[in-house]
Amino acid sequence: MDLNNKTILVTGGTGSFGKKFTETALNKYKPKKLIIFSRDELKQYEMQQNPVFRKREDTLRYFIGDVRDADRLRRAFDGVEVVIHAAALKQVPAMEYNPFEAIKTNIIGAENIINASIDQGVEKVIALSTDKAANPISLYGATKLCSDKLFIRANTYAGGKKTKFACVRYGNVMGSRGSVIPIFLEQIKTGTLTITDERMTRFWITLQQGVDFVITSLGIMKGGEIFVPKIPSMKVIDLARAMAPKAKFKVIGIRVGEKLHEAMILEDDARITKEFRDFFIIDNLDMHKGGKVLPEGFKYSSDNNSDWFTEKELKKILSENLSI
């Protein structure tokens, strides 16, 4: 999507995705205004001091607020044309222990985003989803599934208003807060890395790939879709070996709310999904023409993926993206 001369707001704008999206939008486009909406004033201050963002301070605005606060969202969305909803509580163990908080942010927050967008005439809203929303076993996954449903059905709820809603669903983001990489980096100092299960697999995507896919999806969305990129899988044990080939590994067992493998498209969703060269679109209204109909029984999961990172490739991508 062409973001030139657009007024854009990013919820969770001080997070890993929000900062990379902001950097990309400022480097590749000339938005009229880019609003960073988040609840942490310290992270906003630190972002403001970053030379990458200071040089474009004429374009950036920083709003303190929480997606739980509907009134604050309505004020913040005044004049906004594009909303990227990246705010969420996403730490799986923490959400199992604090379920009410997960619901307030991930579900009630989604409802507030939808109402504020419609009321203020926002043109396009993209909500970030996760592979954990497909057949969820964790509370985090369940709240994101509910959020996905809210955003997809919001297109009907909007009635004759111009606001369109869609979701982007992808897997683990390399190096983001909550990923295993920061944990491994700390454990490398001890010489021992903890592995939940040697069979565990995950989809993997870089922050830049995630941002680029969101911008691409913004450009082609019609409202009501879930966009799923084609991305490689990896074995977590291979990631550990790539990061610390001389370390010892200790198997500690799968945590509560954690899966052995993740999925992004289930068999039932596959019936309403079209395959394109670089991505899939889950599209109940069949709005996108030209895609390939998926075969009966199709499932896109991290263990049956046709594209895998080798240990050597993991070393290369870690070196390029995280200087490991």
Phi-psi region of 323 (alpha: psi -120 to 50; beta: other; left: phi over 0): left
Taking each continuous run of H as one helix and of E as one strand, the counts in the chain are: 13, 17
**Nearest-angstrom CA–CA distance, 298 and 319:** 34
Cα dihedral value 302, 308, 313, 318, nearest 10:
-20
**Nearest-angstrom CA–CA distance, 124 and 45:** 28
Instruction: Give the pairing of strands 279-282 and 292-293.
Output: unpaired
Catalytic-role residue among 6, 19, 124, 132: 132
**Nearest-angstrom CA–CA distance, 266 and 163:** 28
Closest CA to 143 of 183, 96, 82: 96
Known catalytic membership, residue 124: no
Backbone angles phi, psi at 51, to 5 degrees: -55, -30
What is the distance, to the nearest Å, from the Cα of residue 138 to the centroid of all Cα atoms in its chain?
Answer: 17
**Nearest-angstrom CA–CA distance, 227 and 148:** 11
- Helix (H) or strand (E) run with residue 97 in it: helix 92-97
Kindly report the CA angle at 30 between 35 and 117, in degrees rounded to 5? 40
Hey, which residues are catalytic here?
A: 132
